[in-house]
Each structure stands twice: as C-alpha cells, then as structure tokens.
Structure 1
C-alpha cells in the first residue's frame, strides 16, 4: 500500500500541459524553454522539457525554443509518457546561411550586411534587427562599420505587425583588400613603339588586371584586357590590384600617344675637287628622302641657309668628309630624331707613268715572295687599287712564287668609286721566263782498280738524259772549266768524291746540276815474281810461303790448288817436301773490299827428279 501510494504521489507531481496547441507566438525573439512553462502547470515536481514522449534528451531552461513539438516532464524525468505541446511562431525561421563576406575597401556597414544578405529573408513589408549579444541588449546601428575579420551577430526578423522571429545566428567576414595602385594618371607613349597594355605602369607590385571600363561601384568590368592589346590614344584604362579574394579600388590611367617627327634617312653628296665652282650651293634637305618633316634645324662645320632646306656652299668645304646633322624636336613621349648628310670632297689622284724598270723580268727559279709593283711606276699617288689581268683586285706587294712562265699585266687605278673624279689607270708588266733544264744527277762510283778501264769518262753519263742539251759547260769543284770527257786515272780514294757541275743557259736564265765521282778502295791480289822457283825432289821446303811468289799483294784471301779458284782451297804455307817431280800451280783470290775486287793471280813451283 505504501509503494502504491508512492507511485501515485510521483505521478501526481508530473506537470500538466494546459494547451497542447497554443496560438502562434508573435514575439519569438529570445523565447526560451523557461518561457514555454507558461503553457504547463507545475504539480510540485518541476517542469523539464524533452524532445520525445519517452526517453530522449531534455532542454535547458535558458535554451532558445525553435518551432516544433516538445514534451513536458518533471525535473526527475520519471513521468512515463509525457504530455506534448506544439509551438509555432508568427515569423518562422529562415533556415538560411546568413553569412556576409566583404573586402576592407568596400567600407561595408551593418546596413550593407542587411541589404546584401538579410533583407531578402525578412517577411514581406517587414524589417531586420541585428544585435551584438544574445540577450538582444545591444542592437547594431545601420551605420556601424563591419569589423575586420570574422564577427558573429544575432538576427531577429520582424513582420509588418511587429511580430518577431526567434534569434538566428549571422556572420560577417571582412578580408584585407590589396593597396590601391598608384600609377601615373597620364601615361605618354610614342606611336612608333607600338605600345600595348603591357607597357602601362600599373603603380603596384601586386597582381593586377587592366580594364577598359568600371561599373557603378568603381570595379573593373570584365573581361580583363590582354597584355598584348594595343593602346588607343586618349582612352582611359583602369587598373585593379588583386589578391586571393579581394580587389583594390580601380585607378584610372589616361593614355596619350604622340606621333614622332621624322628626320628622314641619312644621305650623301660626293664631289670631285676639280668639278666644284666657287661659289657652289647645294640643298641638303632633298638628300633626306621623302619622310623628313620640315620643322628641323641643321648643324654642321659651316652655317647653312634657307631654314630646313639647308643650303650650303660646298666650295667652302675642305677635302674629305663634312657631316651635317638635321634634327627634329621631340613630340610628347617621342624623342628628337636626327639624320645626317655627308658631303665628301674627293681629291683627284694620278696613277703615275710606267717607269724604266718596266717590265720586270724574273727567271722561274728565282721568283720573289714579295714584289712591289709600284717599283714599275713613277710619280703615282699612293693608296690606289691594283688589279691583275683577270681584273681581280689584288694586294701589293705580290707573291710571285709558283707563277708559271708568261707575261702578266697589272693595272694601277686611282679615283675608283665612290670617288666621282675621273678614273686613271696605268698598266705594268711582269715577265716570267722558263728556266733551262740541266738534268738530274746519276752520281758515278768506281773501284780504284777500274779507273784505267773507264778512262776517259764521259761526264754526261752521270746525268739522267733529261737535260735540254749537251751544249752547256762543265766545271770542277774549283769552278774551272773542264773538257769532257775527262781522264779519271789520276783520281784517288783519298780525294774522293770529286764534284763536277753542268751549267746550261738560255741567254737569260740558267740551270746547274752537280754530279759526283766517288772512288772506292779496291783490294790488291799482287804480281807474280819474274821467276818461279825449282827444287830437286825431296829438297823443297816443308813450309813454303806462297806469298813469297807475289809482289805488292794484300795477304787477305784464299789460296786454291790449280789455275783458278775452282780447285781445292789450301792452307798457306804448304809442305813442298813431299811433292813428286812435276810443275804445280796455285791461285790466290784476294778478299773483296765492299763492292770492289781484283783479278785472280796464279804462281808455280817445279819439282825436278833426282
């Protein structure tokens, strides 16, 4: 009974919802669950509102109420199934993201925020209240400037009957805008530079864009201009600096494009000194071509007359080049321009006359590497032009080596272009004579024991036969003329080699060829004695030296048995004591020296019987 009474007591303390569907609330601004208690009777257990009939989550009393159904319970939450109440507001929630984003240079205010983001969510004919605090004690003025960075606000929407919505959260974010560009307001260009957008000075180091027009807010109207877009005279362009989110205020730049004054093209006037009269006036301006403007002035080594015409008395100018400058003024951004007219007074030069040294004659074998052609001229002026017989320009002195025989013309010319004086030329000649041919040496070599056999010796046998003729002169190494053929029997090894020179002459040029005769040493096989020895049998020497049977021999060689060197080689001395009666022959073959040898020599001994 006590337990049952306790249960009855607990339920008796649960709150009672007096009206589960009350009228829509007109002033919902700041309406909390504590305010919702006006629609419930506290039966002693207190009032606590939940989001579901059973279980679920309870709401704090100071929590803002949104439209919806809620459930009343005691503060202990043990009332079982809770009684519901459905709440409606006259001004419903917007359920929108009430965020405003601005750049610092927009100078946005609370009213800007209302106009941009809030007013469109207000009831028709209604208004918007913006507060700095949840308690709605600090209402913002429309003129309040939005703070830099992020700021939270508390928003209440009001209808035409002054019914107010529940508080909604709003946020503004104000980002720093880049500094405004500070370009020159007027920027000047010269038309001959073909200026483009890229040539404008933006007055900022930030990223930027150029625009042709701006809108009512002063922002550039897209599209941004390409950097290669040509500038137009008199047009105002607008530059805006940019960063990740914001743009600066647009700065105007007015473009002025000027056309340059033209000084024309460089010109020249050439005169021959002998053709100038005194005075002789010439106009310089026509030499500048057709593009020159007439507002220029002339300057130069002497004064000109007739303004831009630039009339000058050329008879007053010295030999050489005189430069006159025509200058037109600057125009706007276009600098001054200038062109020149060069007046050149040429002196008349002479090419001279042919000297007594002409023509120059050279033999083919003695051609110079550097021959001065001007040695063939008299009274010529220097620095003229030389050409050969093919009319090719050449440099003097010239290298004649390798030139084939013939006659060559060389022409010296003065007053060549651009010299306007009459050309004058003088031609000289170089004659190259062909050399005679003395042939090629085939040097002779003799063994000293062959000299008698080859004497007299024909010296032409020591040439290869390519000589022009055999009518030349032979000389020895003392330059003494010798008669050919020559006696060579007196030539010796000690004085060898002997030198002889053959010289051939065609009247102007000569050629010589040197030949040598070399005498080489030869061996001596000796001469047999006048009477060969005879011995009685058994009385001949046991060591008979066969060299005793020769005179003046070289004892280097081989002895053979018999009358030539085809027999048996024997050892000398020989044992003659064993020989039987008869006549014995022995032949000596002396050793050769180099390529030289001597005749075989044969000796005899006789053994007589007893």
Structure 2
C-alpha cells in the first residue's frame, strides 16, 4: 500500500512541477515586445504615452518611467525628448522591461533675423548657403501655419518674414516653424564708364560725389580694401578710383575701376583794343588780333566778327576795308571744349577821324589894345599848333569836351592861325 501511495504522490508532484513550468512559460509569453527601440515624433504631433508603439502579446501594455517603477504612466502623459520609457504587461511583473528612447523634433534653430548678399535676385532663394538654419530637410513657408512649402529656387522678397520647419527623417512629419525676417541685399558689380572726365573749376573742383556708377556706391582708392572715401573729397587728375555697390549690410565684392581725367577751364584772355586813324588805314599792314588780348589766352579758340580773319587762333586782320562810318569793329575770340564752359573775350578796332579845330575871339573889340579871349573848339583831347600873326608856333590841348581858351590883347589886324591839329 505505501509503495503504491508513494508512486502516486511522486506522479502528482511531477505533474504539478511540469504544470507550473508550463504556466511560467505561458506567463512570460504574454510580455509585450518592442520592435523599434528608438521612436521619434514631431512637436506638432504633441506626442504622449499613447503614441508609443509596442506589440501586445496578450498580456496588455503598460508604460513606466523606469525599469523598476511600480507607477504606471497614463496614456495622456506628455513625452519628453531624449527620455527612455519602459513597457510591461498588465501585471507589471512579466519580466525584464524593454525600453524605448524618444526623440521629438521641434522647429529648426537659427537667428530670427538673417540676410543674404547676392549679385542677382535669382540667388536669393531658400537654398542660399548664406542662411544659417540648423535642421533636417528644411521647408520654407510664407505663413506660420498651413500653406504650401516654397520651392528651393523660389525668389525671396526683401524685408519679409518667412517660416521654416524641419522634417522628421524617420516618419516624414514636419515640425513647428522658425520665423526668420529675411533681408536681401542686392549688390551686383557696379557699371559705369571706365574713364570719367571733368572740368577742374577753380574754387569748385569736382569731387568723389561727381563720379558715376550704377546703384548706391562706396568709392575707394584701392581695388580690394580700404576705407570708403568721403563724397566731398576732391578728385585728382590721373587717379584711379574703385566703386562698390552697397545695400546695407551688403557690399559687392568686385569693384568698378574708373580713371579720372581733369581739364582746366577754357581761357580766352582779357579784352583788348586798338585805334587807327582814318588816314592810316591804307598803310596799316595786317596784324594778329590774338596779340592784342590780355592775360594768357588758350591758343585753341576761334575768331568771329564783321570781317573775316585768317591764320586760325592768331586772327590775322586786314583793315583795308574799314571805314570811319563802320567804326568801331568788335571781334570775339571764343575758346570751347566738351567739358568746360565756353570762355570769350573781344578786341575792338576803332577808326579815328582826323582831328579838327577852329578858333574864335570874344568879344569882338572895337579898338586896338583891348583884352580878348581866344577859344579853340575841335576834337576832344586834340593838340592844336597855332601862331599869332605868323609868329612862333605854340600848342594848346583841347580838353575832354573839345575846347581850350587863352587870353590876349588886340593889336591892329590880330589873327590866330591854326597850323595843325593832332590827336
């Protein structure tokens, strides 16, 4: 009997042990499994515990903050970037817990004010490497939410706010957006004449501000560096100047080279004149009007006037056709150039008539020995040579009004004889 009982008991215990082992294997087979131990989200998804993924193998799913915590995290618990979360079944004791590391992608990082310096607007695009924005597969928008992403080659508008998201490389979702105020500096190489010329007017010389190039410019004395010149700086003849295009804070890297030539103002000298007595016209040989000008006139001018001259700037004049009636004759000398204002001067040729003079006596005496005034009347400033009663010659000069007087005493048959009159 005892042997039979022991055998039965042994069988019972063996069955019990095998059953327990079988149940324990069944218990462990219910633990959830994690196929993706690194799970990522976008901040726009507002991920929570409910967003985590694990395979329910029949024992349910519960999430914990640590591998040993007894406090279950609720489905509404907000996930934290970089944290690990641990999964278990409904018992919380199914075995070692598997973990999930969470990555949450948020808006890209970068300065909220950025600019690009371009030589052409076609370079002002989201793909321009001058933008410093950190993120994955950036997407540009014109609105903070919604809308259609801009093409990488879209032309950006100066002084405009754009909104930029990054893309989760695992799931393709897009994050919230970074706002960036974009400044586009358009600074092409300036255009202009390689040689620029100016009139160097005394007291008002040309300055750097008179140089001409396209766009808004800075001017330098070197081709690659230096301090911008003040616009009031006088230009130097034969000096090279270099222009950049400026659209603050941008400045073109290539400069326009300009050679400056300065020209002195035209100088026609000062006015001149010459007088010729009418009786000397026939014997006056041709002469140069240029020699009658004062100062230091340029020899590049031309003459104009009532009589044609020869020999270019010399203005050789033949007076043989001049008359007293046509006097005075005014000739103009004009010096001109493309850069400086014309300058003129004149030479006046005056034909003088022969000087004249008469003499009268006052009062008419009634007898010899009476005092008398002799009045000469004639050409102003003329010198009159005369004698009394054929005596020795004497002279008297008429004043500016053409008169002169002298006093004398009558004698019998007194006469005043005019011998000659000269200017």
> Which TM class, normalised by the smaller chain length?
0.5 to 0.7
- The answer to whether residue 107 in structure 2 is matched with residue 110 in structure 1 is no
Contact 1:279-1:314 within 8 A present in 2 as well: no
- The more displaced of 34-43 and 187-196 is 34-43
* Counterpart-to-counterpart distance in 2, 1:180 and 1:351: 85
> Which one of the candidate residues 248, 270, 276 is aligned to 2:274?
270
- The answer to whether residue 219 in structure 2 is matched with residue 211 in structure 1 is yes
Cα displacement (A) at 1:117:
0.3
Contact 2:335-2:343 within 8 A present in 1 as well: yes
- The answer to whether residue 362 in structure 2 is matched with residue 356 in structure 1 is yes
Query: Counterparts in 2 of 1:468-479, with a 5 A limit?
Result: none
Cα displacement (A) at 1:150:
1.7
In 2 relative to 1, CA 87–236 (structure 1 residues): closer, same or farther, beyond 3 Å?
Answer: same
Runs (5+) with no aligned partner, structure 2: 1-30, 89-96, 365-371, 383-395, 408-423
- The answer to whether residue 391 in structure 2 is matched with residue 413 in structure 1 is no
1:67-117 alpha-carbon deviations (Å, 9 max, x no partner):
3578999xxxxxxxxx9x8957699998654763347964422221x5530
- In structure 2, the residue matched to 1:333 is 339
Cα displacement (A) at 1:323:
1.5
- The answer to whether residue 178 in structure 2 is matched with residue 170 in structure 1 is yes
* Counterpart-to-counterpart distance in 1, 2:167 and 2:221: 40
* Counterpart-to-counterpart distance in 1, 2:198 and 2:297: 21
* Counterpart-to-counterpart distance in 2, 1:145 and 1:210: 27
Contact 1:69-1:87 within 8 A present in 2 as well: yes
- The answer to whether residue 197 in structure 2 is matched with residue 198 in structure 1 is no
* Counterpart-to-counterpart distance in 2, 1:145 and 1:329: 52
Contact 1:261-1:329 within 8 A present in 2 as well: no
1:128-163 alpha-carbon deviations (Å, 9 max, x no partner):
42135899xx987644444662221223598xxx99
* Counterpart-to-counterpart distance in 2, 1:290 and 1:253: 39
- In structure 1, the residue matched to 2:299 is 294
Query: Counterparts in 2 of 1:433-582, with a 5 A limit?
Result: none
Residue 291 of structure 2 aligns to a residue whose secondary structure is helix
1:264-298 alpha-carbon deviations (Å, 9 max, x no partner):
31232333517836231222122235633333322
Instruction: Provide the alpha-carbon RMSD of the alignment.
Output: 6.1
> Which one of the candidate residues 303, 306, 315 is aligned to 1:310?
315
In 2 relative to 1, CA 250–96 (structure 1 residues): closer, same or farther, beyond 3 Å?
Answer: closer
1:173-209 alpha-carbon deviations (Å, 9 max, x no partner):
33476999999757653233621133356778xxx44
Contact 1:283-1:309 within 8 A present in 2 as well: yes
Contact 1:188-1:333 within 8 A present in 2 as well: yes
- The answer to whether residue 328 in structure 2 is matched with residue 321 in structure 1 is yes
Q: Which structure carries more relative contact order (alpha carbon 8 Å, separation 6+)?
A: 2
- In structure 1, the residue matched to 2:164 is 153
Would you say how many aligned residue pairs link Structure 1 and Structure 2?
329
Contact 1:209-1:240 within 8 A present in 2 as well: yes
> Which one of the candidate residues 345, 348, 358 is aligned to 1:342?
348
In 2 relative to 1, CA 35–150 (structure 1 residues): closer, same or farther, beyond 3 Å?
Answer: farther
| TM-score in terms of structure 2 length | 0.53
Contact 2:82-2:104 within 8 A present in 1 as well: no
* Counterpart-to-counterpart distance in 2, 1:179 and 1:376: 95
Cα displacement (A) at 1:166:
10
- In structure 2, the residue matched to 1:380 is 377
- In structure 2, the residue matched to 1:426 is 404
In 2 relative to 1, CA 383–201 (structure 1 residues): closer, same or farther, beyond 3 Å?
Answer: farther
- In structure 2, the residue matched to 1:189 is 198
